[in-house]
């Protein structure tokens, strides 16, 4: 049998992506809505050209056996990531990529279509969300591809409940929600949303935060980039500069702290929450800091509804995926082996050309059972597998 990238490891990949071509999202939208959804690449000539080039590359390789062999060899290289990737949007190609990777499964998130939704007029955005969710389900035809569905809270509990019901009907594995509330909505922890959290708990769907799903919130104020230096700072959903990287986990920390302090994880103890592409180095200190906040304010504000230490809720219900290159061994040593899980981010560039090697460079003292937790056990538990 041909060796795979995973080797002898069993791997549940809790963060991978579709790289949608132009026209993809609109093709799943009702005729009355699709023309109101901005096209991918619209207003960005360089990105638009990349989308055209990548599609021509795809058309050239699908019937060229020699090119296919070349891509099978080079699929993990940086030049073959992003829209030039193997299996970015074609299901048959993705099956081949999964055969080469050797992973048990991949949880699939959107890429470009999510950005399209964010700039779609609010009046039809809910229909654009449904279109994206339909497309995600259609892409995940192989049993190793696990679909996510986006469930925004900004339209209120009724729409969120409809989207959850649709996800359950279509056997979706997890839902993606925003990490920062929209300016025109209540907090995620407002009592009005208790019915949504209850539905998520009863549905057995995992709940995920992901970089970019933050209603355009940026932890680093723009003024910090007016620094007089001849150094370009890339502004994107992923950290394009070291200053943004320092703050990338902050939306996740705020979200988790609100769920703990406001009693959501107390009320709904079976919720399972995954944090992806927001880093993980912040996790050990956050576990301490959230307990410190409780001790500092429990005699000032009523926190009597909490029956456990705040950090214990997180240890029970949250799994975080680090970036390749973070010190996973240290994170496991400080936070415990049950809170950290593998992700490849395939086929995004941020996943690097060899995430396994980069993770394991920091794991020389991690035991066999902790390896299994990281690569398989924690991801399988989080996804309800």
Q: What is the pLDDT of residues 346-384, one digit of tens each?
A: 999 999 999 999 999 999 999 999 999 999 999 999 999
The answer to whether residue 134 sits within a structural domain is no
- Residue 327, pLDDT above cutoff 80: yes
Same domain, 120 and 188: no
- Per-residue model confidence (pLDDT) at position 221: 85
Same domain, 90 and 167: no
- Residue 277, pLDDT above cutoff 60: yes
- Per-residue model confidence (pLDDT) at position 235: 47
The answer to whether residue 143 sits within a structural domain is no
Number of domains in the chain: 2
- Residue 332, pLDDT above cutoff 90: yes
- Per-residue model confidence (pLDDT) at position 244: 83
Same domain, 323 and 375: yes
Same domain, 122 and 238: no
- Residue 165, pLDDT above cutoff 90: yes
Average pLDDT, the chain: 93
Q: Range of 35's domain?
A: 18-127
Same domain, 123 and 249: no
Confidence of residue 225 (pLDDT cuts 50, 70, 90): confident
The answer to whether residue 214 sits within a structural domain is yes
Same domain, 341 and 290: yes
The answer to whether residue 311 sits within a structural domain is yes
Same domain, 209 and 83: no
> 241: buried, middle or exposed (CB in 10 Å: 19+, 13-18, 0-12)?
middle
The answer to whether residue 104 sits within a structural domain is yes
> How confident is the model over 237-265, as pLDDT tens digits?
566 788 888 989 999 999 999 999 999 99
Same domain, 232 and 123: no
Same domain, 368 and 219: yes
- Per-residue model confidence (pLDDT) at position 207: 98
Residue from 278, 355, 272, 264 nearest 317 by CA: 272
What does the pLDDT average to over 328-347? Answer: 96
Three state DSSP letters for the chain: CCCCCCCCCCCEEEEEECCCCCCHHHHCCCHHHHCCCCCCCCCCHHHHHHHHHHHHHHHHHCCCHHHHHHHHHHCCCHHHCHHHCCCCCCHHHHHHHHHHHCCCEEEEECCHHHHHHHCCCHHHHHHHHHHHHHHHHHHCCCCCEEEEEECCCCCCHHHHHHHHHHHHHCCCCEEECCCCCCCCCCCCCCHHHHHHHHHHHHHCCEEEEECCCCCCCCCCCHHHHCCCCCCCCECCCCCECHHHHHHCCHHHHHHHHHHHHCCHHHHCCCCCEEEECCCCCCHHHHHHHHHHHHHHHCCCCCCCCCCCCHHHHHHHHEEECCCCCCCHHHHHHHHCHHHECCCCCCCCHHHCCCHHHHHHCCCCCCCHHHHHHHHHHHHHHHCCC
- Residue 230, pLDDT above cutoff 80: no
CATH code: domain of residue 330: 3.20.20.140
Domain end: 112, 127, 142, which one?
127
Same domain, 100 and 182: no
What does the pLDDT average to over 113-141? Answer: 95
The residue that leads in pLDDT, 217 or 343, is 343
- Per-residue model confidence (pLDDT) at position 93: 95
Same domain, 281 and 345: yes
- Per-residue model confidence (pLDDT) at position 1: 44
- Per-residue model confidence (pLDDT) at position 130: 97
The residue that leads in pLDDT, 213 or 77, is 77
Same domain, 113 and 171: no
Instruction: Report the Cα 90 to chain-centroid distance in Å.
Output: 20
What does the pLDDT average to over 280-288? Answer: 97
The answer to whether residue 3 sits within a structural domain is no
The answer to whether residue 11 sits within a structural domain is no
The answer to whether residue 289 sits within a structural domain is yes
């Amino acid at each position: 049998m041909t060796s795979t990238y995973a080797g002898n490891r069993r791997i549940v990949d809790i963060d991978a992506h579709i790289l949608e071509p132009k026209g993809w999202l609109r093709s799943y939208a009702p005729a009355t809505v699709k023309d109101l959804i901005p096209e991918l690449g619209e207003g960005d000539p360089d990105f638009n050209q990349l989308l055209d080039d990548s599609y021509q590359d795809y058309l050239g390789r699908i019937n060229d056996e020699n090119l296919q062999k070349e891509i099978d060899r080079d699929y993990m290289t940086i030049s073959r990531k992003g829209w030039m990737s193997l299996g970015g949007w074609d299901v048959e190609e993705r099956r081949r990529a999964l055969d080469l990777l050797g992973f048990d499964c991949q949880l699939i998130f959107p890429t470009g279509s999510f950005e399209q939704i964010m700039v779609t007029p609010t009046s039809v955005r809910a229909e654009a969300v449904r279109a994206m969710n339909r497309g995600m389900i259609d892409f995940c035809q192989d049993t190793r591809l696990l679909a996510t569905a986006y469930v925004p809270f900004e339209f209120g509990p009724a729409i969120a409940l409809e989207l959850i019901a649709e996800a359950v009907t279509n056997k979706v594995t997890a839902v993606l929600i925003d990490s920062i509330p929209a300016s025109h909505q209540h907090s995620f922890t407002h009592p009005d949303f208790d019915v949504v959290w209850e539905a998520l708990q009863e549905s057995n769907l995992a709940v995920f935060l992901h970089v970019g799903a933050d209603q355009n919130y940026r932890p680093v104020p723009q003024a910090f980039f007016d620094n007089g230096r001849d150094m370009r700072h890339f502004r994107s959903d992923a950290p394009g500069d070291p200053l943004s990287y320092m703050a990338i986990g902050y939306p996740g920390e705020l979200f988790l702290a609100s769920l703990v302090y406001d009693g959501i994880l107390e009320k709904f103890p079976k919720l399972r929450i995954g944090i992806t592409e927001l880093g993980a180095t912040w996790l050990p200190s956050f576990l301490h800091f959230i307990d410190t906040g409780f001790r500092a304010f429990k005699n000032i504000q009523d926190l009597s509804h909490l029956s456990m230490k705040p950090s214990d809720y997180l240890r029970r219900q949250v799994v975080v995926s680090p970036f390749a290159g973070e010190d996973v061994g240290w994170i496991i040593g400080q936070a415990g082996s049950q809170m950290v899980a593998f992700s490849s981010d395939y086929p995004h560039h941020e996943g690097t050309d060899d995430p396994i090697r980069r993770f394991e460079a920091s794991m020389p003292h991690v035991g066999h059972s902790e390896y299994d937790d990281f690569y398989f056990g924690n991801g399988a538990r989080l996804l309800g597998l």
